[in-house]
């Protein structure tokens, strides 16, 4: 089970995520309460182990600016969290995560979009990101999204991530506010969340193997 900790703003939070064996950390470059500058992201990224993938989150930004920031910071993935067309994604020489709001999924678009992962988030809030509240995970089953490319987000916490994984069976999960205390990343919550998600992912794979026999 892949785990992405999004909204990283400090080196201490990034190190805590890395030490807890997160697979991705996300830097938000769009307008948000968790927005960081490229310079801050670069300073953090340079001090992280190479195995953790660095994701830049953008909303309706120009391909040229996204490429400039990605090159400057040393990003591995670009997460497109707005209304970016497939043409925009095709112009980016980086691996792509495309975010879709759970209440506005177009089945044809999500199946044809050129990306490495789909991120399904809760309905969009003030800053185009999710509201940080869970949605009806059973709805995703109707869209027949390839679970090998599906990252689930939206209101996940240590208390509900196992249930979410058991229903959706995603390849990964994404969390931000669910591992915070008073708006700041909490190292204890990050560790608990990552452990719970990865354990649940292992249990899900074992169940799938048993059921296939």
CA angle 199, 203, 206 (to 5 degrees): 140
**Residues tagged active-site:** 6, 121
CB 198 within 8 A of CB 29: no
CB 65: neighbour CB atoms within 10 A?
Answer: 12
CB 8 within 8 A of CB 53: no
- CA separation for the pair 156, 178 (Å, rounded): 6
* Element housing 201 (H / E): helix 187-212
């Amino acid at each position: 089970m892949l785990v992405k900790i999004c909204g990283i703003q400090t080196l201490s939070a990034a190190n805590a995520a890395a030490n807890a064996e997160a697979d991705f950390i996300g830097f938000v470059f769009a307008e948000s309460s968790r927005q960081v500058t490229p310079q801050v992201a670069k300073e953090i990224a340079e001090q992280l182990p190479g195995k953790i993938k660095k994701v830049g989150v953008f909303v309706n930004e120009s391909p040229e600016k996204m490429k400039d920031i990605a090159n400057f910071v040393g990003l591995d993935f670009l997460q497109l969290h707005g209304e970016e067309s497939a043409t925009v994604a095709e112009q980016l020489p980086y691996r792509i995560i495309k975010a879709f709001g759970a209440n506005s999924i177009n089945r044809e678009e999500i199946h044809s979009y050129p990306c490495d992962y789909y991120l399904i988030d809760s309905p969009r809030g003030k800053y185009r990101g999710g509201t940080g509240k869970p949605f009806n995970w059973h709805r995703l089953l109707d869209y027949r999204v390839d679970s090998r490319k599906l990252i689930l987000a939206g209101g996940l916490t240590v208390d509900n991530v196992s249930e979410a994984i058991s229903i959706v069976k995603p390849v990964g999960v994404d969390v931000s506010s669910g591992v915070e205390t008073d708006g700041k990343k909490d190292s204890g919550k990050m560790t608990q969340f990552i452990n719970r998600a990865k354990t649940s992912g292992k249990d899900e794979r074992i169940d799938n193997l048993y059921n296939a026999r």
